Chains A and B, each alone.
Chain A
Amino acid sequence: MSILIYAETQNGSFSKSAFELASYARALANEMDTSVTAVAVKPTDPKAIELYGVNKVLQVNNPSLTTFNAKSYAEVISQAAQASNSSVVLLSTSADSKFLAPLLAIKLKASYASNVVALPMSLDPFVVKRTVFTNKAYGMTELSGDRRLISLSKNAFGLVEQAVSAEVEVFEPSISESTQSVTGVDKASDKVTIADAEVVVSAGRGLKGPENWGMIETLAEVLGAATACSKPVSDMGWRSHGEHVGQTGKPVAANLYIAIGISGAIQHLAGINSSKVKVVINTDPEAPFFKAADYGVVGDAFEVVPALIEKLKVFKSQNS
């Protein structure tokens, strides 16, 4: 018996979410008195994940897995779950993992809960807490059956080191032919993505036009942050859809979310609810965002943001 995690890699290195999943799995394994197995596609340093309590790494090297294919990856994880006799399988909430999760649930005949935010509240019955109504509430979901699939919300558990010595085994799953393939990828490699970012700098209509985003980009750069925007900004085409944060856009679960010139519509606030610390900068002291934030500055973005950039540059030079 084991707990299986699908440990995602980017260019061969484990992503932060893989370490977070491992941390969660280790804590759960301690409660269930079992071990943790990770399945990973072409990790360059498979043992790197042992720091977070993984006992065994199933290393998959099939050449056909070079580009992501949800169906093939679900087959790999499904076979790894069988091979490791895992009763609990854990995934992250990256776009790729959310894509393959429902396919995997059917293959494994598993019960599946997504957007889980904490360790199970009880093991028998097996009950997890997950976000519902786009972060406006939590639901306690009981998963039945003898195989359970859980996707863990980003930043919900954090990283917990508990070093063990991991055994690495080359795993060779059989992968069926697919009638679907990736023909192109369009991805800015030098930019922090909203999914990975610890800090997100987001701006709204208060910026008056797309030409004024330079200072937002600069602030994001100083903080090593991803940029995001409100729904009206994406609807008007000032910024791409990929940056839209909120109920019909992306959720943001960052450590720090800085909202500039965003009034704070209920749909937007729902989307950022899982972020830990929220800072709002707005000219209107009555903006609803001030009721949902931790720190607030009333002021014109065109004055506050450039001043903040200068002060942060000084701070960074003294603290690095």
Chain B
Amino acid sequence: MKILVCISHVPDTTSKINFKDNDTQFDTNGVQFIINPNDEFGLTRAMWFKEQQSATVDVITVGDVSVEPTLRKALAIGADKAFRVDMNPKDGFEVAKQLATIAQEEAYDLIIAGRESIDYNGGMVPGMLAELIGANFVNNCIKLTVEDNQISAEREIDGGKEILSTSFPLVIGGQKGLVEESDLRIPNMRGIMMARQKPLEVKEAIQTEVKTTTNKFEKPAPKGAITMVDKDNLDELIKLLHNEAKVI
């Protein structure tokens, strides 16, 4: 089984979000970057395929040289090889096009991406990639098993889950559930040393059309003052929710 894990390099979940240059760009000053959490669940699931079912695991990201520490971390966790497509993408479509090019060259059985990145939340890269390369696609994937080419996947739906039977080539948009939070791996010293020797191939980007551009940002208006209600006067809370907020 030949697996590709798509990694997005995103601000840590605790980051305070600020913009610069007249709110046209995300301000990375003081921001710690991590492997996108949805991708990290997928990377860990790929490690299990490697250890239990002899899969090979490549990782890929689209970005400039500043994203390489995130790729090295993925190699330190246990991926065999990394690709970096050298460009700063404008939107999810551009990323999907770049990934599709490598995916077709390398002919992967399984491509694991996160259901969305926690920075721009487009939620489109895995599905677009699947459609571009003609692969099957399971979004919000919370479980995946492969036995004798029988592939079973579970998908989170509104209010429950759905079980699917599918086949390779397959792209999934993964999330928590593929593995648990406690299964995530912190690279050890040996892994970090080995990662330095592993191949990290830089690919030239292909030209694509630009579908969307986002070059203006704003932050939500500051929250108004809270109304405190005494715990012994809950009738007041109900009155406020009914008459003032009009939500009950």
Q: A-side interface residues toward B, CB under 8 Å?
A: 68, 70-71, 74, 94-96, 98-103, 105-107, 110-115, 131-145, 179-188, 191, 193-196, 198-199, 223, 234-235, 241-242, 244, 247-249, 255-256, 265-267, 273, 276-277, 279, 290-300, 303-304, 307-308, 311-312, 315, 319
Given contacts A102-B123, A136-B219, A242-B156, 11 further A-B contacts (CB under 8 A): A99-B139, A143-B211, A143-B212, A144-B210, A180-B164, A181-B166, A295-B241, A297-B231, A297-B237, A311-B234, A312-B238
The interface residues of chain B lying within 8 Å CB-to-CB of A132 are 119-121, 214, 217
Q: Is the CB of A131 within 8 A of B121?
A: yes
Indicate whether A315 sits within 8 Å of B242 (C-beta atoms), given known contacts A137-B19, A183-B163.
yes
Residue B227 interfacial (CB < 8 Å): yes
Bound complex: CA A170 to CA B166 (Å): 31
Closest to A99 in B: B139
Where chain B touches its partner, the secondary structure class is: mixed
Which applies to chain A's interface (DSSP): helix, strand, loop or mixed? mixed
Q: Which residues of B are found within 8 Å of A98, using beta-carbon distances?
A: 123, 139-140
B54 adjacent to chain A (CB < 8 Å): no
Number of interface residues of B (CB under 8 A): 80
Which of chain A's residues have a CB closer than 8 A to the CB of B218? Answer: 137-138, 140
B175-192 interface (Cβ within 8 A of A): 175-177, 180-182
Interface residue ranges of B145-188 to A (CB < 8 Å): 152, 155-167, 175-177, 180-182
Docked Cα-Cα span, A244 to B211, in Å, equals 33
- Which residues 121-141 in B have Cβ within 8 Å of A in the complex? 121-128, 130-132, 136-140
B38 adjacent to A248 (CB under 8 Å): yes
Q: When the two chains form their complex, are residues A194 and B237 in contact, meaning their CB atoms are under 8 A apart?
A: no
With both beta carbons as reference points, the residue of chain B lying nearest to A126 in the complex is identified as: B212
Per-position contact with A for B78-94: 1 when CB-CB < 8 Å, else 0? 00000000000000110
A42 and B11 CA atoms in complex are apart in Å by 43
Q: Chain B residues near A276 (CB, 8 Å)?
A: 245, 247
- Contacts A/B (CB < 8 Å), 8 sampled: A70-B127, A99-B139, A105-B128, A106-B131, A140-B217, A187-B160, A247-B13, A319-B242
Contacts of B163 in A (CB 8 A): 182-186
Contact with A along B213-248 (1 / 0, CB 8 A): 111111110011011111100110110111001011
